[in-house]
A and B are shown apart, each in its own frame.
Chain A
Amino acid sequence: MDLLSNLALGLSTAASLDNLFYCFVGAAIGTFVGVLPGIGPTATIAMLLPITYYLTPTASLIMLAGIYYGSMYGGSTSAILVNLPGEVSSSVTALDGYQMARQGKAGKALAIAAIGSFVAGTLATCVIALVAVPMTSIALKFGSTEYFALILLGLATSTALAHGSVLKAMAMIVTGMLFGIVGTDVDSGAFRFTLSIVDLTDGLGIVAVALGIFGIAEVLRNLENMPENASGAATITSLMPDREDLRASIGPILRGSALGSILGALPGGGSILSAFSAYVLEKRLSRHPERFGKGAIEGVAGPESANNAGAQTSFIPMLTLGIPSHPLMALMIGALMIQGITPGPNVVNARPELFWGVIASMWIGNVMLVILNLPLVGLWVAMLKIPYRILLPMIVAFSMVGVFTVGNSGFDVLLLAIFGLFGYFFSKLGCEPAPFLMGFVLGALLEEHLRRALVFSGGDPGVFFTEPISAGLLLVTAVILAIVAFPMIARRRKQIFSEET
C-alpha cells in the first residue's frame, strides 16, 4: 500500500494551487511550441530554465515536464491539420493524420490523437509509479563501475537513434564531452582548456550551449528556407469519432502505449523511436496495410499513443538514475542542478514530494491537455498563422535575455552566439546537435566514474568486464553498436528515418 500513499502524496502536491498553475502554464506553452514549426521543446525548455530559478524545484520540474508532453499534443495538431509536424515525433502522425484531414475527417483524427495520448499518458504514469521505486533500489546498489557502463550504454543508444551517420554522431558525442570538461577539474583543481579566460573556469554554461546549438542554430537553419505558415489548414467539422473509429483505435492505442512505455524508458529512447516503432507495428498487424499512408485511423492512434507514453516514461532514467536519456532530459537535470538538487536514486527518498508530485502532475497535465487541445483547437490553429518572420526575433530576444539572466553574465550571451554558429556549421556538415549535448552533459560524469572505478580496481580496466552488471550493460552496448554498424539493419534504419522527411 506504499504505492497508494506515495501517489496520494504526489496528488496532494500536484493539486496545490501553485503547482496546478505551473502545470497548466507548462502544458499551454508546450502545446504552443508544439504547434509551431521552427521551435521545439528542447529550445523552449532551455529558454525557460532561467525562470525556473525563481520557482520551487517541484514547480519548475512540473512546468518543464508539461512543456515536454504538451509539445507532443501540439505537434500532432499541426501535423494533422496542415501536414507540418511541429515536432519530429509527430511526423509519423502526419502520414495518415493529414490524409484523414484531407478526407474531411480532421476532427476525428484530432480527437483520436488526443484520446490516444490521454490513455497512453495515464498508463505511462502508472508504469512510472510502479517501476520507479524498484529501479531506484537497484540503482542505489550501483557503484562507479556500473554507472560508467550505464552511461556508455546511454550514449551508444543515443547514437543509434541519431539521424544520419552513426560515425558522425559518435564523433559529436566525443566533441561534446571535450567541451563538457572545459573548466576546473574537480579532482585536482587544475584549469582545463580555459584559455586563460576567467569566465571559463566554471565551465561552459549548459543554458548558453543548449540554446545556442538548438535555438539559435535552428533559427539560422530556418533562414535558408523560411518555414511556411499554415495557409491551407483543413477545416474541422465533427470532433466526435463514431463507435467504428473507437473500435478500430482501441487496439492501436493500447499497443502503442505499451510499446512507447518500454521504448521510452530505455536510455537514448523517448518519443521519436516510440512513434516510428508503433507505426511500423500497426502496419504489420493490419489486415489492410495498404490503407496506411492513405488516412488509416490506426496510423494516427498507434504512434500518437506511443510518443506520449514514451515521452513520459523517458523520465524514468532521469528521475531514478540521474542519467538523461535524451537532450531534453539533460536540460531537466540542469534545472534541478540550478536548484541544488543532484538527480539520482536519492531523490525518491530525500524529496518524495518532488518525485511523486511530478509523476502525479503528468496525469493532471494530460487531463488539462485534452481540454486545451480539443475544445480550444481553433485557438491553436490561429497561432499557426503567426509568420516565422515575427517568430524569429522573438526567439532570438528570449534566448538572449534568458541566457543573460541565468548566469548574470554578458560572456554567456557571447557563448550563445558562438554555439549558435557552431551548431549551424555542424548541421551543414550533416552532424546533429543532440549527441553533442548528450556528450556535453555526460562527459564530466563519465570521467568521474571512470576515475573512481579505476582507483578501486588499482588501474585495471578489466573490472568493467568482470563485474557482472557492468559486463552485462557493456555487452548490450556492444550489441547495439554492432546492430547499428551492421549494413542490412543500417539500411532499414535509414528507410525508417527517411519516411519522416
Chain B
Amino acid sequence: MAVNPRDLVAGIVFIVIGAAFGGNAWLTLRLGEANAMGPGYFPVLLGLILVGFGGAIVFSSVGKPRETFGIVPWQGIALVTAAIVFFALTVRGLGMAPSLGIATFIAAQASGRLSLPGSLLLAVGLTAFCVVMFIYALRLPYPVIGSWLRF
C-alpha cells in the first residue's frame, strides 16, 4: 500500500508533540474546572487536539503519491549550527569580537563555495561592523575582548 512518507512522519511527529505536552501537563499541572481553569487545562486541551490532527494527517497519508524528502545538506547544516552554538557558548567568555569572528568564519564554510581568504576577510569585516555598530554606536555593555583572554 502506497504511503506518503512526508505526511506519515509529519503526523507521527505531531502525535508525539501533542502527547508529550499534553501528558506532561496532565501529570504535573493542576487542571481545574472550566469556570476556574488551572494551568494544565488549556495545554491538555491543545495536546488532545494536536494528537487528533496528527492522527488525521497519518490517516490522510495513505494512498497519496510518494514524495521524497529531497537532499539534505548535512555538512552545511552542521556548520551553521556549530557556528551559532559556538557563539552562544563563547560570547561572554571570549568577548564579542573573537567569538563573532570565529563563528562567522565557521558559518562562511557552510556553502562550501567561499575560499579561505574570502571567508577570513568576510569574518573580519562583519565582526568589525557589528562591534562598531553594537558596542560603539549603540553603546551596548558587552566586552569586545572577554575575560578568558585577559591575563
Instruction: Give me the interface of A with B, judged by CB distance under 8 Å.
Output: 51, 54, 165, 167-168, 170-171, 174-175, 177-178, 181, 185, 187-188, 190, 192-193, 216, 219-220, 223-224, 226, 388-390, 392-394, 396-401, 404-405, 410-411, 413-414, 416-417, 420-421, 424, 426, 428-431, 443, 447, 450-451, 454-455, 457-461
Interface string of B50-94 (1 = CB under 8 A from A): 100110110010000001011111001100110111011101100
With A396-B107, A401-B130, A429-B13 already in contact, the answer to whether A170 and B53 are too (CB < 8 A) is yes
Docked Cα-Cα span, A219 to B110, in Å, equals: 10
Please pick, from A171, A226, A414, the residue contacting B88 in the complex, using a CB distance under 8 A: A414
Of A174, A220, A458, the contact of B18 (CB 8 Å cutoff): A174
Asked whether, in the complex, the Cβ of B91 is within 8 Å of the Cβ of A396, the reply is: no
B92 contact set on A, CB distance < 8 A = 410
CA distance A170 to B142 in the complex (A): 41
Are A413 and B84 in contact, CB atoms less than 8 angstroms apart? yes
A428-B39 in contact given A397-B107, A400-B103 (Cβ < 8 Å): no
Interface size class of B (residues with CB under 8 A): 35 or more
Does the CB pair A216–B17 fall under 8 Å? Answer: no
Contact in complex: B72, A411 (CB < 8 Å): no
What is the CA–CA distance of A394 and B35 in the complex, to the nearest angstrom? 51
Cβ contacts under 8 Å, B100 to chain A: 397, 400-401
Complex CA gap A22/B82 in Å reads 35
Instruction: Kindly list chain A residues whose C-beta atoms are within 8 Å of the C-beta of B9.
Output: 429
Interface centre among B40, B84, B104 (most CB of A within 10 A): B84
Cα distance, A389 to B112, chains bound together (Å): 8
**Shortest beta-carbon distance, A455 to chain B, in Å?**
6
CB distance from A157 to the nearest CB of B (A): 18
Is B70 in contact with A224, judged by CB distance below 8 angstroms? Answer: yes
Write out the residue numbers on chain A whose beta carbons fall within 8 Å of the beta carbon of B69: 428
Select from chain A the residue with minimum beta-carbon distance to B131.
Answer: A401
Q: Are A454 and B34 in contact, with the CB atoms below 8 A?
A: yes
A417 touches B77 (CB 8 A): no
Minimum distance in angstroms from A351 CB to a CB of chain B: 24
B136 within 8 A of A: no
Q: Is there an interface contact between A54 and B103, defined as CB atoms closer than 8 Å?
A: no
User: Which partner residue on chain A sits nearest B53 by CB separation?
Assistant: A171
* Known A188-B38, A400-B87, A414-B88: A393·B123 in contact at CB below 8 Å: yes
Known: A397-B126, A413-B87. A451 touches B43 (CB 8 A): no
Interface residues of chain A: helix, strand, loop or mixed (majority): helix
A393 in contact with B107 (CB, 8 Å): yes
Residues of chain B lying within 8 A (CB to CB) of residue A171: 10, 14, 50, 53-54, 57
Q: B40 contacts which chain A residues (CB < 8 A)? A: 192
Are B84 and A400 closer than 8 Å at their CB atoms? yes
CB-CB contacts below 8 Å: B107-151 with A: 107-108, 110-111, 113-114, 119, 122-123, 126-127, 130, 134, 138, 140, 142
Q: A178-B21, A421-B77 are in contact. Are A388 and B35 (CB under 8 A)?
A: no
Top-10 shortest CB links A-B: A459-B35, A413-B88, A459-B34, A223-B76, A429-B10, A171-B53, A417-B84, A185-B39, A190-B39, A396-B107
* B110 and A223 contacting across the interface, CB-CB below 8 Å: yes
Contact A178 B33 (CB under 8 A): no
CB contacts (< 8 Å) of A426 on chain B: these are 10
Instruction: Establish whether residues B10 and A451, one from each chain, have CB atoms under 8 Å apart when the complex forms.
Output: no
Contact at B53–A454, with CB atoms within 8 Å? no
A404-B91, A405-B140 are contacts. A175–B80 as well, Cβ < 8 Å? no
A-B contacts, 19 of them at CB < 8 A, read A187-B39, A192-B39, A216-B84, A223-B80, A223-B110, A223-B111, A389-B108, A396-B80, A396-B83, A411-B88, A413-B84, A414-B85, A416-B84, A421-B77, A429-B13, A430-B6, A430-B7, A430-B10, A451-B42
- In the complex, what distance in Å separates the CA atom of A447 from the CA atom of B126? 42
CB of B73 within 8 A of CB of A223, answer yes
Q: Please judge, given known A-B contacts A190-B30, A392-B111, A428-B70, whether A420 and B7 are in contact too, CB under 8 Å.
A: no
CB of B50 within 8 A of CB of A54, answer no
Are the CB atoms of B80 and A219 closer together than 8 Å? yes
Say which residue of B56, B73, B122 sits within 8 Å of A390 (CB atoms): B122
Residue of A nearest to B121 (CB): A390
The answer to whether B46 and A220 touch across the interface, beta carbons within 8 angstroms, is no
Complex CA–CA separation, A439 to B113 (angstroms): 37
Minimal Cβ-Cβ distance residue in A for B130? A401
Q: Closest approach, in angstroms, between the C-beta of B7 and any C-beta of chain A?
A: 7
A175-B30 in contact (CB<8A): no
Once bound together, how far apart are the Cα atoms of A450 and B73, in whole Å?
43
Q: Write the nearest CB–CB distance from A169 to chain B, whole angstroms.
A: 10
